[in-house]
Amino acid sequence: MAISADTPRAAGSPAPAAAGGTHARGGPPPRYGTRPTMKDVAARAGVGLKTVSRVVNGEPGVTPDTERRVQEAITALGFRRNDSARILRKGRTASVGLVLEDLADPFYAPLNRAVEEVARSHGALLINGSSAEDPERERELALAFCARRVDGLIVIPAGGDHRYLEPEIAAGVATVFVDRPAGLIDADAVLSDSYGGAREGVAHLIAHGHRRIGFIGDRPRIHTAAERLRGYRAAMADAALPVDENWVSLGPTAPERVRAEAERMLAGPRPVTALFTGNNRVTVTALRVIARLPRSVALVGFDDLELADLLSPGVTVVAQDAARLGRTAAELLFRRLEGAGEAPRRVELPTRLIVRGSGELPPAGD
């Protein structure tokens, strides 16, 4: 029998699941949108409230016969425990909040999934939201999660000041920052080695003969962007190569800006012969620019891309393990929840240079 989702029921046709009465026999039929409670189940089964609670939670001390009667009442009424009340009473919510930049970003999605898996293995649900790189929105989300009394919070910071979380952390909300460190507070953080990864990637380009290398990255206030730029400069310095500041561009990763900057660096009498791109979004746009050029330009990007191996030439990347970032952060969080009372830790995961050929092009000139 099908049920119409929202058709209001006439008094003469009560919802089948609730037929028989939420209230004592003879009472009015339950209003649409009103759910039966343990009290209703108890009344129907002819037992006490606590007995229903025991059955629902699988607690011992209920005879099989009583249990059967309760189960029948539960099924007949379509009862489902109200976790809000349960949470209120117990204090723990078995849920974790995750604030990231963009749920849809191919870099963060696996991180999201990894956090979900760890949460699931601990019996916790995941609430999440996208900050869209807006500090105020990050704050709103994180505090909304705290109001829901999440047991723990995982944050990919958009802002640079997380003092607003101090009362929450002090109150026991286990908090772990991922991908970027917390601002102005001392807290757990799980990061990738942005500096080392960028340095290695740029060194790869240098090793293949490039001397004029452009760097296009995210906004400078973002920790990873700054670190990767630092890695770029270190690699150039290692090889005693000068850096023309026209080769460096930090800013929003919107395709228009990245395209303009890439085209600028690749134009003129002495263009760069290679690009190092600071994250997956930048890389994709840069690849589109390069694809339209008659000559070949070397590129190494931070973050792996799904089809990077199928492009020709394959795209060399500095890969982060986003899933591992998420997993590590979530595991750290649950260790905290289980009472590991050490000082905040900063975990740094290594990156991996995946050479696929795009860095190995002979330099175009110089």
Partner DNA sequence: TAGAGCCTGGACAACGTTGTCAAGCAGGGC
Partner DNA sequence: GCCCTGCTTGACAACGTTGTCCAGGCTCTA
**Which parts of 29-88 interact with DNA (CB under 7 A)?**
34-35, 37-39, 42, 46-51, 53-54, 56-57, 60-63, 65-66, 79, 81-82, 85-86, 88
Q: Is 10 in the site for a second copy (CB under 8 A)?
A: no
The answer to whether 354 contacts a second copy (rule: CB under 8 A) is no
SS (H, E, C) the chain: CCCCCCCCCCCCCCCHHHCCCCCCCCCCCCCCCCCCCHHHHHHHHCCCHHHHHHHHCCCCCCCHHHHHHHHHHHHHHCCCCCHHHHHHHHCCCCEEEEEECCCCCCCHHHHHHHHHHHHHHCCCEEEEEECCCCHHHHHHHHHHHHHCCCCEEEECCCCCCCHHHHHHHHCCCEEEEECCCCCCCCCEEEEECHHHHHHHHHHHHHHCCCCCEEEEECCCCCHHHHHHHHHHHHHHHHCCCCCCHHHEEECCCCHHHHHHHHHHHHCCCCCCCEEEECCHHHHHHHHHHHHCCCCCCEEEEECCCCCCCCCCCECEEEECCHHHHHHHHHHHHHHHHCCCCCCCCEEEECCEEECCECCCCCCCCC
State which residue, 102 or 360, has the beta carbon closest to a second copy. Answer: 102
Task: Report the residue number, 109 or 243, with the smaller CB distance to a second copy.
Answer: 109
Q: Which residues ranging from 231 to 250 are in contact with DNA (CB under 7 A)?
A: none
Task: Report if residue 223 touches a second copy, rule: CB under 8 A.
Answer: no
Determine if 310 is a binding residue for a second copy (CB under 8 A). Answer: yes
Residue 325 in contact with a second copy, rule: CB under 8 A: no
Residue 284, contacted partner among a second copy, DNA, none, CB below 5-8 A by kind: a second copy
Among the listed residues 3, 49, 237, 254, the single contact to a second copy using CB under 8 A? 3
What number of chain residues touch DNA (CB under 7 A)?
30
The span of 45-53, 59-67, 222-230, 310-318 binding a second copy (CB under 8 A) equals 310-318
Shortest spacing between CB 348 and DNA, in angstroms: 38
Options 160, 196, 251, 344; binder of a second copy; rule CB under 8 A = 344
Nearest distance from C-beta of residue 169 to DNA, angstroms: 18
Tally Cβ neighbours within 10 Å of residue 190: 26
- 45-104: which residues touch a second copy (CB under 8 A)? 78, 80-85, 87-88, 93, 95, 102-104
Q: Which two tokens stand for residue 271?
A: 């263009």
- Please choose which of DNA, a second copy, none residue 138 contacts, taking the beta carbon within 5 to 8 angstroms, the exact cut-off set by kind: none
Which helix (DSSP H) or strand (DSSP E) does residue 199 occupy?
A: helix 194-207
Q: Which amino acid is at 228?
A: R
Q: List beta partners, residue 275.
A: 214, 299
Q: How far is the CB of 234 from a second copy (least distance, A)?
A: 28
Q: Which 109-148 residues touch a second copy, going by CB under 8 A?
A: 109-110, 112-114, 116, 120, 125-130, 143-148
| Residues 264-293 contacting a second copy, CB under 8 A | 284, 287-288, 291
Question: Among 166, 238, 348, 366, which residue interacts with a second copy (rule: CB under 8 A)?
Answer: 166
What is the binding site for DNA (CB under 7 A)? Answer: 34-35, 37-39, 42, 46-51, 53-54, 56-57, 60-63, 65-66, 79, 81-82, 85-86, 88-90
